[in-house]
């Protein structure tokens, strides 16, 4: 009987493909837009996630994100080290600077100074070279975005730059997630970064902390705040701060929210119209089925199977389309690090379910009310 329902559904190829297309298109729209939205605002957290060792970030109370930070005096490091439960703490400098390239062009860069001795603060992976190159004089490590932006044709290794009248030689390429603004990032040692960044009185932007008990990072961050008067955020909190900063300061959530809503509306409109049209067209067949004694429950199940097939096919193709989209753009540096959070396909699955349940319910109302006698009219 359910197979009859499916034959009924696919009997009219035009409507069937219309339904599948409607579901696939709204799935694609919702999934793809949500993916790009999530990835875009997570760029605000990339600075935090690129540092893979620190449980806690300590900063001046007015600092907000990795890029909006107010520097502290150098003794803040010792204050943090004095807090019980802190396993280690290292200095971390983040600052904006202008770099002069070989051609004489000026480019804004972010200079990140990592701890001299331990190199804590570098991204986890290197694309080329090893972190040890920083031990050579005047060394910097560029990130892969910087590589594609500043050296589109050729390897940057060995290239000389000028930072604050000082020589900087690129000796490695880091594999890092770009920031929201895709700024070129140069990693160097803390002591070297002090020379590269024009001097202000205080230079220490962050203190990176490893907790004795990583599971109790939250409690430790509160203790650091209490004992030092500085602001301490766990890694996840600080990543969230970066995301919140972008949400608060850009129109991205609104724009993407509109697109996602449009996807939903398009889905409801196409699928709803086609599905109710399809069911209305088949109202005679349903009447006949009723006439031969098929119960309403059975009819409900039949419609549910039809909706399920359309939903599964459309949703599968839509998600596949999103994956192909993300995959085909993954080589593009703008899309570097984009991924599909597993929650998003579930959200779009829920949206598909709601669309189908809504339209199916609306269409079914007529069917259920149909008298078997209507076949003969």
Distance of closest approach, residue 254 Cβ to another protein, in angstroms? 25
Query: In terms of CB distance, is 306 or 370 closer to another protein?
Result: 306
DSSP state string for 248-315? HHSSHHHHHHHHHHHHHHHHHHHHHHHHHHHHHHTHHHHHHHHHTT--HHHHHHHHHHHHHHHHHHHH
Distance of closest approach, residue 371 Cβ to another protein, in angstroms? 30
**Residue 244 DSSP SS3:** helix
Query: In terms of CB distance, is 90 or 307 closer to another protein?
Result: 90
Query: In terms of CB distance, is 131 or 333 closer to another protein?
Result: 131
Which helix (H) or strand (E) element contains residue 139? strand 139-143
What stretches of 144-249 adopt beta strand conformation (E)?
160-163, 166-175, 184-189, 206-211, 231-234
Distance of closest approach, residue 117 Cβ to another protein, in angstroms? 4
Q: What is the rounded CA–CA span in Å between residue 1 and residue 371?
A: 20
> Of all residues in the chain, what percent are helix, strand and coil, respectively (each to 5)?
55, 20, 25
Distance of closest approach, residue 95 Cβ to another protein, in angstroms? 13
What is the binding site for another protein (CB under 8 A)?
3, 6-7, 10, 13, 16-17, 20, 49, 52-53, 55, 73-75, 77-82, 84-90, 115-120, 124, 131, 177, 191, 194-195, 199, 201, 203, 210, 212, 214, 235, 309, 312-317, 319-320, 322-323, 326-327, 337, 339-342, 345
Query: In terms of CB distance, is 103 or 117 closer to another protein?
Result: 117
Query: In terms of CB distance, is 22 or 156 closer to another protein?
Result: 22
Query: In terms of CB distance, is 88 or 151 closer to another protein?
Result: 88
Distance of closest approach, residue 99 Cβ to another protein, in angstroms? 20
Q: What is the rounded CA–CA span in Å between residue 49 and residue 45?
A: 6
Distance of closest approach, residue 377 Cβ to another protein, in angstroms? 31
What's the sign of the alpha-carbon dihedral 19, 25, 30, 31? positive
């Amino acid at each position: 009987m359910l197979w009859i329902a499916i034959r009924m559904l696919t009997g009219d190829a035009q409507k069937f493909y219309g339904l599948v297309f409607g579901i696939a298109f709204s799935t694609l729209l919702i999934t793809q837009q949500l993916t790009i939205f999530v990835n875009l605002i997570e760029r605000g957290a990339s600075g935090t996630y690129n540092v893979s060792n620190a449980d806690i970030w300590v900063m001046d109370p007015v600092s907000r994100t990795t890029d909006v930070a107010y520097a502290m005096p150098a003794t803040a490091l010792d204050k943090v080290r004095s807090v019980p439960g802190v396993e280690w703490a290292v200095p971390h400098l983040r600052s904006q600077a202008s770099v002069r390239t070989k051609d004489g062009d000026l480019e804004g860069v972010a200079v990140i100074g990592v701890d001299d001795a331990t190199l804590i603060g570098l991204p986890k992976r290197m694309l080329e070279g090893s972190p040890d190159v920083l031990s050579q004089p005047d060394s910097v490590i560029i990130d892969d975005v910087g590589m594609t932006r500043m050296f589109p044709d050729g390897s940057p290794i060995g290239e000389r730059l000028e930072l604050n009248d000082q020589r900087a030689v690129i000796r490695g390429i880091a594999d890092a997630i770009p920031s929201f603004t895709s700024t070129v990032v140069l990693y160097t040692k803390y002591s070297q970064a002090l020379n590269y960044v024009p001097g202000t009185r205080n230079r220490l932007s962050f203190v990176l902390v490893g907790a004795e008990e990583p599971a109790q990072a939250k409690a430790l961050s509160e203790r650091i705040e209490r004992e030092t008067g500085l602001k301490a955020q766990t890694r996840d909190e600080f990543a969230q701060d970066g995301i919140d900063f972008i949400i608060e300061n850009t129109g991205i959530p609104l724009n993407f929210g509109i697109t996602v809503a449009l996807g939903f509306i398009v889905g409801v409109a196409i699928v709803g119209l086609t599905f109710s049209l399809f069911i209305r067209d088949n109202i005679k067949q349903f009447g006949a089925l009723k006439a031969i004694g098929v119960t309403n429950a059975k009819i409900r199940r039949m419609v549910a199977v039809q909706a399920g097939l359309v939903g599964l096919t459309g949703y599968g193709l839509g998600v596949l389309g999103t994956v192909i989209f993300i995959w085909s753009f993954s080589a593009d540096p703008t899309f570097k690090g984009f991924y599909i959070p597993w929650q998003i396909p579930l959200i779009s699955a829920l949206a598909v379910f709601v669309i189908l349940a809504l339209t199916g319910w609306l269409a079914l109302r007529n069917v259920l009310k149909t008298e078997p006698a209507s076949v003969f009219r």
